[in-house]
Amino acid sequence: MDRTDAPPPSHADLEALVARCVAVLRCGPGKVDEYFELVEADHAVIPLLVEAFHAETNRGTRALLVDAIWEHRTPTVLEFLGEALADPDPPVWKNALDGFVALGTPDALDGLRAARARLAAATPPDAERLQWLDEAVEQIAGDLEAP
């Protein structure tokens, strides 16, 4: 049966999937199967992944969750990615930045520009993050202008 023909998973099934996969991802690198289970799950899993991100204390797992969320490549993740850009942990905000670039939409560009404005107004501004944001803005803007 084709994935599109399958009935949508229940909320309980998605909760169990997220709990199981996050527990395994927390054990360290190399847990590719569980990562891809989250990426390939129905988009209804996204709010549960966002909840798992907020509850997670393991830095590596948090960064993987950001990645798994944006890999769904749906505009509904942009608000979360904007929030993750403000995270103090570089792997988290860099994965969020990757998500904006991967989506590459006008809304993604607007979100990055807004995040950059907030960051530039911070005291003191984070020069490294501003540089990364500037590069991402240029990349998306260039891609959107290309024929």
Considering the domain 9-145 in this protein, what is its CATH number? 1.25.10.10
In this predicted structure, what is the pLDDT of residue 1?
Answer: 38
User: Would you state the pLDDT for residue 123?
Assistant: 84
Low-confidence ranges of the chain (pLDDT < 70): 1-5
User: Three-state secondary structure along 41-107?
Assistant: CCHHHHHHHHHHHHHCCCHHHHHHHHHHHHCCCCHHHHHHHHHHHCCCCHHHHHHHHHHHHHHCCHH
- Confidence (pTM): 0.90
Q: How far apart are CA 129 and CA 135, in angstroms?
A: 10
140 CB-near residues (< 8 Å, 6+ apart): 100, 101, 104, 108, 109, 112
pLDDT at 94: 97
- pLDDT number for residue 8: 83
Region class of 123: left (phi > 0), else alpha (psi between -120 and 50), else beta: beta
Q: For the segment 115-132, what is each residue's pLDDT rounded down to a tens digit? A: 999 989 988 889 999 999
| pLDDT at site 146 | 79
pLDDT tens-digit map of 97-108 = 999 999 999 999
pLDDT of residue 3: 52
